Amino acid sequence: MKLKLKQQKKLKSPGIIFNLNESSQQSKNIQCDIPSFGKFSIESFKEDNKIINYYTGFQDFDHYMMFFHCLGPSAFDLEFKCTLLNPIDQLFMTLIKLRQNKEDIELAMLFQVSQSTVSRIIITWINYLYFQLKEINIWPSQEIIKETMPSDFSKKFPKTRVIMDATEIPIERPSNVESQSATWSNYKHKNTLKAMIGCSPRRALTFISDSYGGSASDRQIIEKSNLLDPASQSFEKGDFIMADRGILVQDLFANQGVQVNIPNFLKGKSQLDPAEVLHDRRVASKRIHIERVIGLTKSFKILKHGICKSKLQLGSRIVFICFAISNFRKNIVHRNA
């Protein structure tokens, strides 16, 4: 013990004097003001655009309210009525669930309601948003496509009606063995939902298919869609679909006089011709629009981190809602792109 005390004395710097009383007094004077919002409400953040964008994806409070009013007065007359939260905040809770993938127990704490109430609100609003957004006709006419087509796109691919690509959403592995097999994706090496997404040359979402298990092929998804139904009048003769090399559906659209513009295959050649290389580069430079749309939509963390088993039955509707909402955002493609 004596040796330890001596060593401690040697380590002490003679020029430094520690005043414990002064230090403790200073610590008492230091205060951290942590803002408390109390019960969560969109009104609490109406002046904070960053927070609104973080939780909902909309630019500001006015942008959020514009979306809410687009849903119509039926938002106030849903089957499940929660007197503790008004419909504006029920939508706010649902968007936080989709955007930040919050657990129900955390949302219950933030909005000061029970966990069962959170679950019922989210299920009600996912169904409501799905049917309301489904009513909006997002497939534009050929005239609108031409009027809004970026100038450079118009020069290179003037007959393009839609740019298409598939996307996969991770999900929690289902308990049922058959469901596990149906949703297993050999490409992603995990269980997923798969959907086909289409956008106009100006980036507006114009097609969102139903979601299927990750084992479904691109061709199967298109075959089950209404794009091939003559009664839907989706395409006109001479239209072009721009797509990835793996979407081999040229024969499906041949009867409608629609062509599928995809990158060239080598077809036994050692390399592509210069003209083919130039064509593929041009296609890649324009097809990137759909990749950017899909990437932007996956800022909804529920699509990025995965849909849990408890919400899996709503999976296809969740995917549709997240992509449909992107049409209410600012355009990411310049007019002259």
Could you read off the pLDDT of 82-96 as tens digits, one per residue? 889 999 999 999 999
Among residues of the chain, what percentage have pLDDT more than 70?
Answer: 86
Could you read off the pLDDT of 296-317 as tens digits, one per residue? 999 999 999 999 998 999 999 9
Residue 259 bridge partners (DSSP): 240
pLDDT confidence of residue 333? 56
Burial per residue of 296-322, b for 16 or more beta-carbon CB atoms within 10 angstroms, e otherwise:
ebbebebbeebbeeebbebbbbbbbbb
The pTM (predicted TM-score) of the whole model is 0.84
- Round to whole Å and give the CA distance between 24 and 15: 21
pLDDT (average), residues 6-11: 44
Strand pairing report for 259-261 and 212-213: unpaired
Question: Which segments within the chain are labelled E, that is strand?
Answer: 160-170, 184-185, 190-199, 205-208, 212-213, 240-242, 259-261
Which residue shows structure tokens 């009383």?
21
pLDDT confidence of residue 111? 96
- 133 vs 267, more confident: 133
- 275 vs 257, more confident: 257
Which residue shows structure tokens 């890649």?
284
pLDDT confidence of residue 7? 45
pLDDT confidence of residue 268? 64
pLDDT confidence of residue 275? 84
Strand pairing report for 190-199 and 240-242: unpaired
pLDDT confidence of residue 170? 95
Q: By the 8 A CB rule, do 193 and 184 touch?
A: no
Could you read off the pLDDT of 14-69 as tens digits, one per residue? 443 334 455 455 545 545 554 555 789 999 999 999 999 999 999 999 999 999 99
Rg value, the chain, Cα = 27
